[in-house]
Amino acid sequence: MGRTRGTWSTKGTWFAGAALAAVLALTGYAVLNGGDDDADASKSGSTPSASVSASPGPSASYEQPDDWTEPTRWVALPRGKRTNEHGSQVGFPHTTEGAVATAAAVNTVSMETDRDTGDEQLRIYYSYVSKADQSEEHAAQIELESIQADKQLHKELSVPVGEPLPPGAYMRSSVIGYKVIRESDDEVSVWLLSRVARKAGETAKESVGYTRTLNAVVWENGDWKLSGKATQRALDAQPAKPKIVAPGDAAFNSAGWTAIREAS
């Protein structure tokens, strides 16, 4: 399993935090690859347990332009019909936008004072991963390795290991754009563009950056689920990677991203 590489910046340039990568990787559905490892993963013959290939931002010197360029494509994704026992939205429509909304929900994570990496990993795992890709052994592994992920989060936020995060400290990821790769009635693969923010406390300055992630979901028992086999098919297709740029940058449009509005 590859690792996401990156650095933090307080100028709104880019980063890919190791703790955030761990939340995705240890959930049992993620295959995180920096650079061009995506193709290597697809050729290895191993099927990922579900779906993710992520990359950090374009360069350490990238800064969002001062001039705002309106995105040419906007979508308000549908909400799930209900919140399950793990606190996750589920029951998305059996449409392409419903599939994208599911993938976006998977990649919307938050670690803060009262919610650690283990909580988020298990919530995503039990809420969104296909039953075919779940096992008791893997769930136990997540619980064990989440300890290391939590240590990494504390390190990135300069908080002593073993202590709770201070008030106002967090690491959050939210999906702000997408680009569909392939779609059919019961299977959709998509690139996701996420805004990732971290803050070490109430008076600390927030750091912001962006990541690109590949997800593939299938329609299973009345809802969309992350699937290892669907992921392998998406990786085998070796889709072109859209440039990682923020909404408001003219390159966002030329890269083919669709911006996401908050649903009303």
Q: The tokens of 85 are what?
A: 């026992």
Q: Would you say 11 and 63 are in contact if contact means Cβ atoms under 8 Å apart?
A: yes
pLDDT band at residue 21, thresholds of 50, 70 and 90?
A: low
12's tokens: 């709104």
pLDDT tens digits, 70-97: 999 999 999 999 999 999 999 999 999 9
Q: Which residues pair with 213 in a beta bridge?
A: 54, 192
When pLDDT is cut at 50, 70 and 90, the band that residue 144 belongs to is confident
The 10s digit of each residue's pLDDT in 231-263 is 889 988 888 899 999 999 999 999 999 999 876
Q: Is the dihedral of CA 202, 121, 160, 6 positive or negative?
A: negative
Residue extents of the structural domains in the chain:
18-261
Predicted confidence (pLDDT) at residue 9 exceeds the cutoff of 60: no
pLDDT of residue 23: 53
What average pLDDT does the structure give for the chain? 77
Give the predicted TM-score (pTM) of the model. Answer: 0.79
State the average pLDDT over residues 199-227. 90
